[in-house]
Structure formats: structure tokens, C-alpha cells
Chains A and B, each alone.
Chain A
């Protein structure tokens, strides 16, 4: 009955987590568990949490993402949050929400670029 969906995709040695819709509390726990389990198994060097499919990002979701990113960091995986729209960015800034220990980017490809995953022409 919830409208949330999550895709967890392994891209070489990077883990992509794309969230869509409204992430309920019990989902968030499941997502965290699965993601950390995957990190433990495969040891990706990067984790990207993409929020472009989430329409409203409130402080609750922010703390979920921040916790997950921090936990990933503890395991040696560099974490990013991508897909923050202009409206969400302005709202979070106004609310005073800050992300420690996690880098944020506008789009998925920007996060991947920072992980040195980009078009061949750009990498040369």
C-alpha cells in the first residue's frame, strides 16, 4: 500500500540505490539492511543514493540517508547522495539540514564522475 520503490543496482564496483516515491520507516530499515549486507559481501568502493524519484525530501529521509551513508563510510565505501532538485536543495538549506560525511551531487552522473566512472572521452 505504500508507493515506494527501491532499485539496488551493482555497477562494476559501485552500488547504486535509486529511491522512488515515499520511503516508509519499515522500508528504510530494509533498504539499509540490504545495502549494508551488499557492501559487506562485495565491498564496493562507492555507494550512490539517488533521490531524484523522491518528490519531497524531509528531515526524516535525510537522517535515514545520512545514517546509511555514514555506516557505509565505516565500511570503507565512499557515499554520495545524488538527485537533489533545486527546490529540495533550497528547502534543506532553509531548514538548516546539513550532511556530514556524505557528498552530494546534482545528478547521478556527477556522483559517478567523482568515482571515476564517466564517458571514455572525459576520462582521458
Chain B
């Protein structure tokens, strides 16, 4: 009896020590980047003491951090809105209607997951140019919507399928069109799915680096990741690390906040994804 409680106490202590040590390892880089963005460092805008010199430098870097933040926000807003619109309509269509080519279209959408990013971005660079969308934040958002579509459509189709048919039939019998039923009744029922889709679209479009690197060449249209990357590239041998970490903080903070607030939806999104296989 005493040995088993003793071993349980030892195991509990072992758990806490291991867990806490790992927590320190995982939190350390985040805490360090915040710390080093305000700590003075010779050769950076904040050369000594503590303060927001690095952030002031960032504010006036290149086209000004505000420009990049506005670009990132615009792309993210368009991507989230577009993904929600396309996947809500499409998810409803796939869950409730049968039509010729349904399975083919669904498979073609899922096939987006199979194709490497680079393979599709090289021709998209040429194609968007022909469509007059080269160097355009709208073009970039369209590309992000396409990349989000497999997950978003899958998520929304499952959400609509989980809604009892009676809910919608009542509205239809009352004389609503299917679209009114969708807008008035069903969208409320699938709200958790919409939040998950929006969260994933937000995280992906705010953070993506490769697509804007290829599709955007005009510095005044850079999104945050490319702008901070250009800061790392600009001056050979004399990189302002303090300002770099300030840029990282500005990029990461909105995501970490959204992540902490909506963690439940993030976890559920992965569970849906994990059940896919």
C-alpha cells in the first residue's frame, strides 16, 4: 500500500518535472524573441537598455510596416471571406444535392492536396500574368482560396451532413427557397464548422511565405512574411537582428492570440482531418 502510493507520487513528480522542462523548451524561443525585440543590442535601432526602438525602426522600414500589415490584412480578409463563401455554398451542394459530375468534382478538389506547392505556383505565375492579376493581392488571395478549398470543402460538407434534414425541410415546406433556407436556418447550424474553416484560412494566408514570394514582386505589395524576410536579406553581414525579432513578434502575435482563443476549433479541425485517412 505505502509502496504503491510512494511510486505514484514519484511518477507524478516525474510527470511534472518532465512536462515542465519540455514546456520551458517549447516556450523559450517565443519568450526570447519578445525579449530580444525590446532589449538593447549594439548595431540595432535599440542600441542599449530596453525600449521600442526596434519597433520604431520597423515602422519606417521599406514602405513602412503599416503598408505590409495592411497588405497582409487585406489578403487574409479576402481569403477568409472567399473561402467561407465558396466552401459554404459548395459544402451545402455536396451534402444535400446530387448532380452529374459530383464525385468527379469532389475528387478533383481533394487532388489539390496531392500536388506540390511549387508545381502549381510556377504555372500560376504565368496564368495570373495573362489574367492581369500578376503582382496583385486579389490574385494572391484567389490562390490561397484554392489551397484552402480541399480542407474547407471537406469540413463544410461534413458539417452540413451532420445537420438533421428536418430542419431544412420545414423551411422549404414553409415556402423558402433552398438559398433562403441555407441563409436563415442552416448557416447558424454549421457555425462551428465555419469558425474552424475561417481560423485555418486566416492562419494559412497570414503566414504563407512561398506564394507571395513568387507571385508578388512589387515591394509596396509585400505581405508581412516576405517583408520581414527582405529585411533579413537586405544588408549583407549587418543584419539588424533586433528589428528582425520585432518583425517576428508583429507577425506571430495575432496568430497566437487567435490560436489561444479558438484552440477548441483548431483541435476539432485536425480531428476531422485526421479521420480522413
Tell me, yes or no, whether A binds B. no
What is the interface of chain A, defined by CB distance below 8 A to chain B? none
What is the interface of chain B, defined by CB distance below 8 A to chain A? none
